[in-house]
Structure 1
Amino acid sequence: MEDNEFYKILVNRYINKQLTDDELELFVQLTKEGKLDDHLLAAMSKKGDISESDQEDYDRQTKTKRLWYKLTAAAVVLVVLSVGLYSYFNHNIIDGNKQSVYAKHDAEPGGDKATLTLADGTEISLTDADNGQIAKQAGVAITKNTSGQLVYTVVESGKKEIAYNTITTPRGGQYQVNLPDGTQVWLNAASSIKFPTSFANASNRKVELKGEAYFEVFKNKKLPFIVVTDKQEVEVFGTHFNINSYDDETSVKTTLLEGSVKVSLLSGGNKGTSRFLKPGEQASVEYQTRNLKIGKANIDQVMAWQKGYFHFEGDDLQSVLRQLSRWYDVDVVYQLSHNDDEFMGDIPRSVKLSEVLKILEFGGVHFKIEGKKLIVTK
């Protein structure tokens, strides 16, 4: 079999997650040498299909077994990022000097960290609070359960004064809260949600969000659930959706997984414009133009953070590093004029920053960690 035909089959087997351990090692080495670039780019543009007869012939020769990992590539520099390649990268690609540098300067992954601010201004560290009831106000008990989640429970009926709480996650933090109506909210890093401790006698269930959160709203057709951000308002009756409203991104993105929501603009020349989303759709409000656009959502990419991993799919370096900055609590310093690489692949959010950087460096960029600074060079 000629090299080109072999390379084509190897790439096709990688795409279909069929490589053996030995083939995976060979795949990484050939990628590092640049011998698979054309075949990977062809495969990414759906031009690298392998005939069934060729594939069956190769399978018979190698007696293959299936492994689970994802195709990865870059527009200018090929980058391989895959859960299945971590141990290989750590032991075979990264040189000892680089490992020793990262051993001295590293950042731990984020975790369940948040601060609860009560209506009277009292701040409670949910990171340090023991399980059990941590506060009671306006007829509502606030409890931290054994899973580390915050739960609001009405313990006194009757009309009570409306009190508002705020839960804030720092960079390097995330948290889950069960609101008084039973709605579940997952907060990503550097985010906050403000809400009333009880929705009794209210005309709606309105909360305010900064940053990113995933919602599973308790159904109540008589009491619509409303999420307000700086640029938009999202109204729902019972559904699953994600809102990304970080100030350092280019737009606010609302992604619907289940049910129906209405997205309305709160500012700009198109103020008042509203659109309904169907499951699998995403509303995007651009910060500069204030235009509201609806398109098909990449659910895997949107929900990756909530499921515990980073999912890059054509993301540029700046987009990738914004996510790392929030999760690892580091400030990014760029010491390169430009970088037009695009990254694709999955990385668990449970690994140290150095593990992520080792893999990103395979694409040609270089990093140095100095305290809370992540310095990027080419």
Structure 2
Amino acid sequence: MINPKIKKLLVRYVTDSLTDNEEDILLEWLTFSKNRLLFKNYIQINYAINYNLNDIDTNDIKKMLFLKIRKDKSIYYKYNLNTVFKYAALFIIFLGLGYAYQQDYFRNKIEQPKLNIPNEAITLQLDNGEIKILNEEKTSEVKDEKGNILGTQNKTKLVYKSKNNTEKYSFVYNTLFVPYGKQFEIQLSEGTTVFLNSGTTFKYPVEFIEGKDRLVYVEGEAFFEVVKNVEHPFIVNANDINIQVLGTKFNVSSYKEDMSINTVLVEGAVNLYDKESTYNTKTAIVLKPGYKATWNKSNNEALIEKVDVELYSAWIDGKIVFRHMAFNDIIKILERHYNIDIINNNKILGDKLFTANFDIESIDQVLKSFNENHSIAYSIENNQVIIN
């Protein structure tokens, strides 16, 4: 795992905003081979870069290197001659990766035609940056840039099949985006099934790597049915936390605008820990079936409580279930489910608690139901609800 300070430097590196001092710190970190591998993997996963150092003009890079050394003569005093050459070699690699990043970025910018993506479209971003719109009424194949079939979409479900070629697809990640008002299902290459709720982004590998953890990323809400594999733990990165499992069923809600991250365990066992920390059995939070962990983003503390798990998985069947929930929190769920903006000018109503079940009702029918128990003056116009 990369140190948070180094991560910040990597971000500054790809945005070409490193200071000379920061560049030296990063170069020293790269003197270790394991860190160079972390560097490569980080760039590939977070910036979808597939680079080939054979295409780089090393002569130009060497000229840049000598300018760097002449500019910072302290290098000669800090290192012996052999170390200087090692430092120089790393610097060439470092600049080479940067060159490859820039070439890949601008190549995609130039060659990839601009795609007009409707707000209501479910999209799939491939590892090379290409974005595809997934039509929920059709079937299609997902292919890599060479035309190899990676998976098959059948309406609202996308299925990946293992190619038994982890070397070829090492660190190749695709990203699914499900907008408000939509839901989607995906089966990963090793069989794990993930249900994605409205307003969710899900990043996952095309092929899991032998000997490595099964790592995926989610922002929004998802229900996981994880295939058990003791040798390869399944880890869900949900913004501030990591959720580690071997084989289980659980729901995680991690919307950026929410103040907490909720994990509800249906069966099996999960361990929760801060994403900036290494997993430790002594410090990780263990969740048992029938319990919910509410992770507070502001203080990184978790509250564990027993819950009715069906309340947190009903959305998979298109249902909305509230139990003693404040109207302000209900509004967020309704906005995501119906893809509509709700402006509540009734401050007293915002703190009221409601219990309700909805299935196929329209947003107008839902609001009429609330109106039966509490007088609500509302209007609906241009996909916007105003409550007075």
> Hey, what's the Cα distance between the residues in 2 that align with 1:157 and 1:290?
39
C-alpha distance in 2 between matches for 1:282 and 1:171: 24
Q: Which residue of 2 aligns with 1:79?
A: none
Tell me the TM-score normalised to structure 1 length: 0.65
* Residues 331, 148 of structure 1: alpha-carbon distance in 2 compared, 3 angstrom cutoff: closer
1:243-288 residue CA offsets vs partner (Å, 9 max, x unmatched): 01112323101111010110112369xx994111111111110122
Check conservation: 1:194, 1:208, Cα contact below 8 A.
Answer: yes
Matching of residue 160 in structure 1 with residue 168 in structure 2: yes
| Partner residue in 1 for 2:95 | none
Among 346, 355, 369, the alignment partner of 1:344 is: 355
Cα RMSD over matched residues? Answer: 2.3
What displacement does 1:173 show?
1.2
Task: Specify the alignment match of 2:179 in structure 1.
Answer: 170
The alpha-carbon deviation at position 337 of structure 1 amounts to 3.0
Q: How does 1:110-129 map to 2 (within 5 A)?
A: 114-127=122-135
Matched, 1:375 2:386: yes
Q: Which amino acid aligns with 1:238?
A: G
Q: Give the conservation status (yes or no) of the 8 Å contact 1:140–1:198.
A: no
Q: Distance in 1 between matches of 2:136 and 2:293?
A: 37
Residues 201 and 277 of structure 1: CA distance in aligned 2, closer, same or farther (over 3 Å): same
- Aligned pairs for 1:261-340 (under 5 A) are 261-266=270-275, 273-339=283-349, 340=351
In structure 1, the partner of 2:138 is: 130
> How far did residue 153 of structure 1 move?
1.0
Pick one of 345, 358, 366 that aligns with 2:377: 366
Distance 2:320 2:223 in 1: 15
Q: Determine the structure 2 residue equivalent to 1:241.
A: 250
Partner SS for 2:243: strand
Aligned-partner residue type, residue 315 of structure 1: M
Q: 1:75-114 alignment to 2 at 5 Å?
A: 114=122
Cα gap change, 1:226/1:158 in structure 2, threshold over 3 Å: closer, same or farther?
closer
Secondary structure at 2:250's aligned position in 1? strand
Q: What amino acid maps onto 1:286 in structure 2?
A: N
Contact kept, 8 Å, 1:265 with 1:292, in 2: the verdict is no
Cα distance in 2 for residues equivalent to 1:129 and 1:200: 32
Label 1:170 to 1:301 Cα distance change in 2 as closer, same or farther (>3 A).
same
Change beyond 3 A, Cα 1:128–1:261: closer
Shift of 1:367: 1.8
User: Residue 318 of structure 1: CA displacement?
Assistant: 0.7
**Cα distance change of structure 1 residues 266 and 294 upon mapping to structure 2, 3 Å threshold:** same
1:148 alignment partner AA: T
Deviation of 1:127 after TM superposition, in Å, equals 2.5
Shift of the 158–310 alpha-carbon distance from structure 1 to 2, 3 Å rule, reads: closer
1:366 CA displacement? 2.4
The separation in 1 between residues aligned to 2:305 and 2:347, in whole angstroms, is 32
2:115 alignment counterpart? none
Cα distance change, pair 161–308 in 1 and its aligned pair in 2 (3 A): closer
- Distance in 2, matches of 1:260 and 1:199, equals 21
Letter in 2 for 1:184: T
Checking the alignment, whether the CA contact within 8 Å between 1:186 and 1:214 is kept in structure 2 is yes
Separation of aligned partners in 1, 2:309 and 2:142: 36
Give SS of 1:359's match.
helix
In structure 2, the CA distance between the partners of 1:158 and 1:281, relative to structure 1 (3 Å rule), is closer
Q: 1:224 is matched with which residue: 204, 210, 233?
A: 233
Extract unaligned runs of 5+ from structure 2.
1-119
Percent of residue pairs identical: 29
Instruction: Report whether the alignment pairs 1:259 with 2:268.
Output: yes
Alignment partners' CA distance in 2, 1:156 and 1:232: 30
Q: Is contact 1:114–1:125 with CA below 8 Å preserved after alignment?
A: yes
- Distance in 1 (CA, whole Å) between partners of 2:268 and 2:262 is 17
**Structure 1, gaps ≥5 residues long:** 1-111
Aligned length: 262
SS in 2 for 1:318: helix
**Could you tell me how far 1:156 is from its partner in structure 2?**
5.7
Q: Distance in 2 between matches of 1:253 and 1:329?
A: 22
Question: Which structure is higher in helix share?
Answer: 2
2:191 to 165, 182, 186: 182
Amino acid at match of 2:352: D
> Residues 233 and 144 from structure 1, CA distance in 2 versus in 1: closer, same or farther, beyond 3 angstroms?
same
Greater shift, 325-334 or 184-193, is seen at 325-334
Contact kept, 8 Å, 2:226 with 2:234, in 1: the verdict is yes
3-state SS in 2 of match to 1:323 = helix
Shifted more, 245-254 versus 115-124: the winner is 245-254
Which structure exhibits the higher relative contact order, with contacts defined as CA atoms closer than 8 Å and separated by 6 or more residues? Answer: 1
What amino acid is the match of 2:123?
T
